Structure 1
Amino acid sequence: MKNRFTPAQARRLHLLTSFPLLSLLTLASPESRAETPTATDASLPAVVITANRTPTKLSDVIADVSVIDRAQIELAGQSSLIDMLSQQAGIQISRNGGYRSTTGLFLRGATSSQVIVLIDGVRIGSATSGGASIENIPLEHIERIEILRGAASALYGPDAVGGVIQIITREAESRQKISASIGAGSDGQKQANAAISGNVDSLAYSFAAATERADGFTVIVNPNASGFNADADSFKSTSFSGKLSSKISKEHQLSVSVLHSKTDYQFDSLPSPNPLKLTKLTSDAWSHATLNNVNAQWQAQWLPQWKSTVVVAQSDDKSVTEYFRMSDHAFAGTGKFNTQRQQASWQNDVSLGKDQLSFTLEQRKESVDSTTNYSVKERDLHAAVLSYGLQRGDWDGLAVVRHDYNSQFGSFNNWSLSGAYKFLPAWRLVGNAGTSFQAPSFNQLYYPGFGNTALTPQRNRSNELGVKYQEGAQSFSAIAYQNEVQGFINPSTNARSALATLRGLTLSAAWQIGATQYSASYDYADPRTKPNNLSLVRIARNTLNLNVQHQLQEVTLFGEFKLASEREDNNLSFNGRDTLGGYGLLNLGAKWTLTQNLSVLMRANNILDKQYALANTYSTPGRNLFVTLTWRN
């Protein structure tokens, strides 16, 4: 049977690859040596946006960037965005229990509040916690995900200490395409999705809807924890996305996109105050997380060399908790932490031969609506960014300067300088140096009993150096980095350290042999606070990822293997730390193309039924199976 993958498609496919399954099982055995890592460069499409804020050819990208494309997303089954990100180089996660419960993300040792998340170029997240609830973004609405590793405040502003994750929503197709899928699996999991896209005359459209639910499992495993209840904690999620774009003339295009997602999930906790005198066995706690994102863009080609993009957007991050008495559902209290961000930007890109000059103005207003009485509830941010991308034969460079004004903390200037040199036809030496800053979140400043109004922005200086190889479907990269954060604010204690040093090494590789694709990554991360030399909690020092995909006529076989070393976490009962054990996870799956329009996907996660923890006292899913039936026209 002829291989259905062209070399170009193979380069785009990233990660998921496959020994035949027998080889993968051998890899996972105790006697085997897992020496391989999760790929980056091989997954990149021909053009990426996030690296330079402008469409840039893969061959010209200097930064450490990887992409998850739609082909990979369609093999995810019931896996979440967080699950897919956790397979990527440089990313680790922590999770407070069930399938869609609150999740923390670490990128190059930086915490969730130090990573910017964008949807179609628009920043999302909470101004109170500082992080984005990406566990609340269903994969059905995503076309691709671009991950920029490394400090990027010069390009993207405050908080890009560890990097930037950009989510691009579903794009319109050249002809009308309709798809629908249903799925079911362990722990009462159920899914249903539908999407339609196409174009009529000059109007392109894309719409998608999704619903998901599960009976779940108990989110807390420690009986001594204050909220412990051995009941199963369920979740349900509904979401919708839409995108319209119109080319009103040869030079001008307008587009509007909308994303709405709401997730309700149970967790174990007691209200405070507690008017009904609930106990951990009588309390029924629910969290309601809502994301609304509206984005309007106008792209204008004023001259052959000059293109401008105007963006006006609003994002809402809503987090509401409700407590009930389990026996009769009597209401026992509520709390809300809602953030609204109003944003506008005007970006101008001027081509100067092969070089490119960009100038951007940005404005953002953050407002907090909460049952907690914050003494300050809003702030304004203004910025101007100037960048110059240079190409000179074997040399590539990018210089960026940025000025930010924060209504609470005043003005800040940041810069970055990146360069690459092709010393052999397929080999490049890459490097970057720059500065960034991070303003304290509203919780860090004003939360009762926790906040400290004397806190000032953290300042940091980053450096990285590496080598990249790319030839056809074969790629390799090795990147060493060090990021020194002055006046580091510990996110769990709000205590300030003189310095935090985030240092590490990322090795990535991808290759193809016949109809089998492989990708792998190894990460060494050693983030520490100074002068006490303590490791940052919930971050493993060593992680390995291996992904394999094999095409066998009408069947796609795939496997994912992850190995993580032990990590430390705070002990919630006393002022100390516990060690969370290392773990190995093996996921296997297969996709059968039954007819031209119908396919079945089966995914089995945590095949070895490993019991492990990503956060102290919280549980993680055991072995689980999910089957999806998909129809496409």
Structure 2
Amino acid sequence: MIKISALSAAVIAAVSFHTSASQEIERITVTANKIEQSQKDVLAAVSVIDRADIERSGARDLATILSQQAGIQINANGSFGHTTSIALRGGSSDHTLVLIDGIRVGSATLGYKSIEKIPLQSVERVEIVKGSRAAIYGSDAMAGVINIITRRAEHTTADVTVGSNSYRNGQVATSYNHEDLTILANLGYEETDNFDVLQGTQPDSDGHDNTSLGLKAEYQIAPDSKIFAAFQGSEGDTFYDNPFGAQNDTAYLDEYDNQVVSLGFETQFGQSSHAFTVTKSQDESVSVDESKRQKTITKRTILNYDGHIDVQENLVVLGGVSASEDDVSASTLVYEQSTRDTLGVFVGSVYEYNQALVEATVRYDDDDQFGSEVTHSVALGYKVHRDATFRFAHNTGYKAPTFNDLYYPGSGNPALLPEESDNFELGLKASLADTTVDFAVYRTDYTNKIAWAPNAQGNWAPANIDNALHQGIEVSVLNTLMFGIESNFNYAFVNAKDESKGKPLPRIAKHSANWLLAKQWDELEVVTELQFRGQRDSSRSTPTGEAFNLSSYTLVNLAANYELSDALKLSARIENLFDKEYGAVVSSLVTNEQKEVVSVNYYNTPERRFFVNLQYRF
């Protein structure tokens, strides 16, 4: 169906495939329009990471995998388990909707999902769609959608990994099939001492641990109908450093417990398909310091229906209804309103006629806290060749104010309007001979951006004051070089500006690139990864008002996989091979009496580190 090389266009630094670029592999996605589509036929920039990609990379966390995608930049306040922001096409973390098995998850107080708390050991597949998908999913999907699909092992595997900073990890994934019953399970544990994450204060090691469990049961009640029940959870602790805390405090700890439970029914009648799901999720974080424990809990209930009808061979009509409730009443802070009800309805179509492709969707959301919102998405495509499609898309999106924005005690602003976005994109997907190219140029206007700033009384409060313009270019090229070396290169240019201030948005590099080279010798596969990030604003200003910029850097990683037997595989990974010192997030600037910057305190980034994995397949 879709031609794709040995290295996925979506996964640069951490992923490779055994097949060559000239072979055809069907990559089916369901995230873009909530129906199964071949990746090459989706009129958006889409990338897919599967379990084989994750294992071949040797990467140990989701942030590492995502950071190697074209157009995605990751900034972490430390290492494993520490606060990690994701910028998709220059958007902030709360502009990217994160799903787990298609289910909206995350904190209703912060407004996004903390990806550092999602263990990579529980992930089977990741689908990334760039550009607004609010017309399908509603709030938050202004920059794009990341759908994390949990483990679905066909066989039983057991893994043990050890590495630098006392890293240790064990995981098991298995499945059981008997007639019409399928049971899936995954269990994992991860622990590391990490390192001292913040310069200038609280010298200590900021360790992290995570325990995860996933269970799913499916029963085929008829040839075209099934019911299922699923649970996925992770809990653990992460020590961190507080830039506003005392110099020698060492008791800052984040205890978290995240869970998703779902029940569902799927059926097909003739040319129509229907899926009904009820889910309950919880994101709980308990912040502990020397004197107090502050608990933040989001409990979310969602009733959802999705369906589509194959009206003709080349026309699909789709639609859905979702009703959700967010509840933060179990949190330590007392909010003026602690629940939010949202009703969303969408309808759309996917149409193909000769060389022409059309996707169109409109959605209506009614939120009892701020009112209603209508979003739409229209995309046109033209196949200049069987494996080359031009596309043009126009999408709108919005971001609902969070509980913190609206009702944070003493600071919230219940008059806030939703943030809105208007996105245009022109792109080309082409697979010719042994070369695959994915190109996109886009422009996104953000309006009514919510920013926290001192009010007339001097208290920090949110207001709709900022507008931003994001423009960019992305290109991915993968092909086979001499001696059978697989090459996968991508480059992204992002010009993200705060229009109200005329300044670039912080921590967003204008230029970023990734390049992967991989070679297979019988049972041995070797992968070299290069990652470049250009200069970017640190979000900190000098006493004279000048922006303090972070320097560019280039990292080199190595990974190797060796099949010792049909059942046993040994893998190794070296990150930051040349032990590069670099800063990604600035904590503070230290100045002298002349207002000159004399030193900078950063959140420490990992030095050179090693990981070794042994996997046994039953």
TM-score by length of 2: 0.90
- The Cα shift of 1:42 comes to 11
Aligned to 2:325: 365
Moved more, 517-526 or 156-165: 517-526
Instruction: Give the SS at the match of 1:53.
Output: coil
2:284 corresponds to 1:299 = no
Contact in 2 for aligned 1:14/1:44 (Cα 8 Å): no
In 1, Cα distance between the equivalents of 2:261 and 2:517? 37
2:389 corresponds to 1:421 = no
- The Cα shift of 1:18 comes to 11
Aligned to 2:6: 10
- The Cα shift of 1:500 comes to 1.1
Aligned mate of 2:198, from 216, 220, 227: 220
Residue by residue over 1:593-630, the C-alpha shift from the partner in whole angstroms, topping out at 9 and shown as x without a partner, is: 11111111110001111122221131111100011111
Contact in 1 for aligned 2:304/2:320 (Cα 8 Å): yes
Aligned mate of 1:378, from 316, 319, 339: 339
- The Cα shift of 1:260 comes to 0.6
Instruction: Give the SS at the match of 1:434.
Output: strand
- The Cα shift of 1:430 comes to 0.5
Aligned to 1:335: 294
Q: 1:270 to 1:503 in 2, by over 3 A?
A: closer
In 2, Cα distance between the equivalents of 1:424 and 1:458? 39
Aligned to 1:275: none
Aligned mate of 2:513, from 544, 550, 556: 544
- The Cα shift of 1:19 comes to 13
- The Cα shift of 1:183 comes to 1.3
Moved more, 549-558 or 483-492: 483-492
Contact in 2 for aligned 1:262/1:290 (Cα 8 Å): yes
Aligned to 1:28: none
Q: 1:582 to 1:16 in 2, by over 3 A?
A: closer
Q: Which amino acid in the other structure matches residue 255 of structure 1?
A: F
Aligned to 1:566: 535
- After TM superposition, list the pairs within 5 Å mapping 1:109-188 onto structure 2: 109-173=90-154, 177-188=155-166
Q: Which amino acid in the other structure matches residue 346 of structure 2?
A: V
Q: 1:202 to 1:11 in 2, by over 3 A?
A: farther
Aligned mate of 2:286, from 317, 320, 332: 320
- The Cα shift of 1:172 comes to 4.8
Q: 1:134 to 1:19 in 2, by over 3 A?
A: closer
In 2, Cα distance between the equivalents of 1:232 and 1:572? 29
**Please, which runs of 5 or more residues in structure 1 have no aligned partner?**
1-6, 21-39, 272-277, 325-331
In 2, Cα distance between the equivalents of 1:42 and 1:248? 37
In 2, Cα distance between the equivalents of 1:612 and 1:447? 36
Q: 1:208 to 1:430 in 2, by over 3 A?
A: same
Aligned to 2:522: 553
Aligned to 1:503: 471
Aligned mate of 1:434, from 382, 388, 395: 395
- The Cα shift of 1:75 comes to 2.2
Q: Which amino acid in the other structure matches residue 334 of structure 1?
A: R
Q: 1:418 to 1:310 in 2, by over 3 A?
A: same
Moved more, 116-125 or 433-442: 433-442
2:177 corresponds to 1:199 = yes
In 1, Cα distance between the equivalents of 2:448 and 2:39? 36
- The Cα shift of 1:77 comes to 2.9
- The Cα shift of 1:241 comes to 0.8
Contact in 1 for aligned 2:197/2:605 (Cα 8 Å): yes
For CA contacts below 8 A with separation 6 or more, give which structure has more relative contact order.
1
- After TM superposition, list the pairs within 5 Å mapping 1:478-557 onto structure 2: 478-490=439-451, 494=462, 496-513=464-481, 515-557=484-526
- The Cα shift of 1:61 comes to 1.4
Contact in 2 for aligned 1:182/1:193 (Cα 8 Å): yes
- The Cα shift of 1:41 comes to 14
Aligned to 1:65: 46
- The Cα shift of 1:87 comes to 0.3
Contact in 2 for aligned 1:45/1:67 (Cα 8 Å): no
Aligned to 1:279: 246
Instruction: Give the SS at the match of 1:51.
Output: coil
In 1, Cα distance between the equivalents of 2:488 and 2:24? 9
Identity of aligned residues (%): 30
Q: 1:429 to 1:19 in 2, by over 3 A?
A: closer
Moved more, 617-626 or 509-518: 509-518
In 1, Cα distance between the equivalents of 2:267 and 2:560? 44
- The Cα shift of 1:104 comes to 0.7
Aligned to 1:602: 572
Q: 1:606 to 1:17 in 2, by over 3 A?
A: closer
- The Cα shift of 1:426 comes to 3.0
Q: Which amino acid in the other structure matches residue 630 of structure 1?
A: Q
2:278 corresponds to 1:308 = no
Residue by residue over 1:499-541, the C-alpha shift from the partner in whole angstroms, topping out at 9 and shown as x without a partner, is: 2112111111222346432212111111111232121111111
Aligned mate of 1:211, from 189, 204, 224: 189
- The Cα shift of 1:171 comes to 1.9
In 1, Cα distance between the equivalents of 2:536 and 2:132? 24
Contact in 2 for aligned 1:481/1:503 (Cα 8 Å): yes
Contact in 1 for aligned 2:417/2:464 (Cα 8 Å): no
In 2, Cα distance between the equivalents of 1:515 and 1:393? 36
Q: Which amino acid in the other structure matches residue 296 of structure 2?
A: F
In 2, Cα distance between the equivalents of 1:516 and 1:314? 47
Instruction: Give the SS at the match of 2:40.
Output: helix
Instruction: Give the SS at the match of 1:195.
Output: strand
Contact in 2 for aligned 1:15/1:43 (Cα 8 Å): no
Contact in 2 for aligned 1:12/1:45 (Cα 8 Å): no
Aligned to 1:624: 609
